[in-house]
Amino acid sequence: MGDIFVPRRTKIVATLGPASESPEMLEKLIDVGVDVVRLNFSHGKAEDHRNRAQLVREISEGRGHYVGILADLQGPKIRIASFKEGQVELQEGASFSLDADLPLEEGDETQVGIVYPDLPRDVQPRDKLLLDDGRIVLTVEKITGNRVECRVDVGGILSNNKGINKQGGGLSAEALTDKDKRDIKTAVEIEADYLAVSFPRSAADIHLARQLLREAGGDAGIVAKIERAEAVQPGVMEEVIEASDVIMVARGDLGVEIGDARLPQVQKDLISKARDLDRVVITATQMMESMIDSPLPTRAEVLDVANAVFDGTDAVMLSAETAAGNFPVEAVQAMDRVCLEAEKHPQVRRSSHRMDRQFERVDEAIAMATMYVANHLPVRAIAAMTESGSTPQWMSRIRSGIPIYALTRQLKTCRKVTLYRGVYPIYFEFNTTEHVELNKAGLRKLLDCRAVTEEDQVVITKGDLTGVSGGTNALKIVKVKDALTLEVGS
């Protein structure tokens, strides 16, 4: 086979913020390999998100490089309020209270207000409360009205507006706030490709988000951010995954609620179950946190990213590294390097996915058959002619080193598949329904993109009824040179 470029299979999601929102920086990030941008609705106004989304579309599509947009809802604010002096130092063994009635800026070394008024009703004596990503640990001693009186188990510096988690979960805050419901409408306006729901407790939260999105006129994929202990309980985990299009392993709050020691196994379970259920998965939080201030990642961060790739994650995500860090471009480049090297490992290309199960749809069966063929023949690429992107998504559940090119005339599909592992969008406008000519046109597209040479074998999938969503029912194995010389009617 010829020596041609093989693209990175694992996708990179980069969060936009002050460090990355300028046109110049966005151009650099897209050029070095960002596949999806995350708009964090916890910060900024609706107009800010509109402007960022428009800029991403203009820059990426001006380069013929499709970039997806993920709108990330803030979710419930389960946080302390503020201190008179900006921060306090809590001593181990001291008393400290969380008071829903205390004015929001009157905190001191003995007490602080809270912006989550239901906390006194969600806790009971002996519960453990973890503040600031678990850096401060409190034990609840008693509840007096709207005041939660605690003992400091692990002290330290505590500053304004830090998060509150309950060890083991159990806080009753609704996943979708009034602000989130307004932000869903903004996400629809900017034509976000994905909508992330923060702190879902069950599949019902995901169903509600999808209903509100549909009512607002949107059709984005729903991302369930797995960050509550309740969401990883047996049975609940599977229900949440099945209700979603994508899950995000949001390791910050999740790690605090379930404990650091459980987090690695839960991450592996989430990635495995998501792939088994034909869902997409993003691994997130502190993947290259040191690169906020350093041009190089730590060895531990390199191993963390590589292990997520080995486990089969579709995407890895950068948060503060690109939103507020000093080295956003270098962070993307480092992640790109690590993913590419990890993808060379043999285990990343071996799969027994669904080998012992029946398929429910013809297009699903074609997708599985395609990957079996591609993994057992000297095939350079897969050309999936698609309307909705479903067939390449199913293909991407199979571990492989063969690139899957989603040839589509739907801009929404071009943007949607940017999150799928090993799938690359190519805008493909065609004016024929004759299959020989359609095959030729698709192969010429791959040649133009330098994805194949004339000597390569390619697997083509498409539907008899060209242009019909869900109609993929044909698989063809061709040598590029031979297919290009084939005459209609042959």
Active site residues: 38, 79, 225, 285
> How many whole angstroms separate alpha carbon 449 and alpha carbon 392?
18
Q: Which among 198, 193, 199 has a CA at the least distance from the CA of 245?
A: 193
> How many whole angstroms separate alpha carbon 345 and alpha carbon 425?
25
> How many whole angstroms separate alpha carbon 295 and alpha carbon 298?
10
> How many whole angstroms separate alpha carbon 170 and alpha carbon 323?
31
Largest Cα separation within the chain, whole Å, is 85
- Which residues 6+ apart lie within 8 Å of 241 measured at CB? 224, 247, 270, 273, 274, 277, 279
> How many whole angstroms separate alpha carbon 454 and alpha carbon 254?
49
> How many whole angstroms separate alpha carbon 213 and alpha carbon 185?
7
Cα torsion for 280, 286, 287, 291, to the nearest 10°? 140
Q: Do the Cβ atoms of 36 and 13 come closer than 8 Å? A: yes
